Amino acid sequence: MTSKELLYVEDALGHEKYFQTKCQETADQVQDADLKACVQQMAQKHQQLYQSFLNLL
């Protein structure tokens, strides 16, 4: 992996971690059960993507 590719993966890791955190924070504040479940699914998806990028390293 080139240094430039590594930087892209590091950026992707940071973005996915940020999105996962924000989704979880939002899910914790949402009152509507359906919307809460949707946002929690989004948080899980971003966590899975984070793990996928981490596994590239």
The pLDDT profile of the chain, 57 residues, written as one tens digit per residue, is 899 988 998 899 999 999 999 999 999 999 999 999 999 999 999 999 999 888 877
Question: What is residue 57's predicted lDDT score, i.e. its pLDDT?
Answer: 78
- Coil, strand or helix: which one is 31? coil
CA dihedral sign of residues 48, 53, 54, 55 = positive
What pTM, to 2 d.p., does this model score?
Answer: 0.83
